[in-house]
Amino acid sequence: MVYNLTPIQNSESIPALVVAADGLSGNVLMILFILAIFFVSLLILKRFGFVYAWVSSTWGCFVLSSILALGGFINIIWPLGFLAGAALGTLYLYAIGQ
């Protein structure tokens, strides 16, 4: 299989290189970046309790993925998924009274 690496070779800065690599990978690069941030923040914040870590991680990744979706780097379904997870976690915290 032959790959066209011209966009990467013509990149003059680090952001241009990231955009070119994301375009060549079919937006998989940014999706994996958001998922890595989600799981790392979930594991770091787990010491405060799983539900609190879940809500904090999903709200944070919702904001980041919304910015990336507005930039056209990822599909709109990713911010909606994080928003649904954040809403369910927040509703659960509200229901148990914490």
Domains of the chain, residue spans: 30-96
Supply the pLDDT for residue 13.
Answer: 83
Supply the pLDDT for residue 32.
Answer: 92
CB 82 within 8 A of CB 65: yes
DSSP symbol at 98: -
Give 45-65 pLDDT, tens digit per residue: 999 999 999 999 999 999 999
Mean pLDDT of 31-40: 94
Mean pLDDT of 67-93: 93
Q: List Cα–Cα distances, 1 to 4, 5, 67, in angstroms.
A: 10, 12, 34
Matching residue, tokens 């914490």: 98
Q: Which residue has the higher pLDDT, 15 or 43?
A: 43
Supply the pLDDT for residue 2.
Answer: 66
> Is the four-CA dihedral 31, 37, 40, 45 of positive or negative sign?
negative
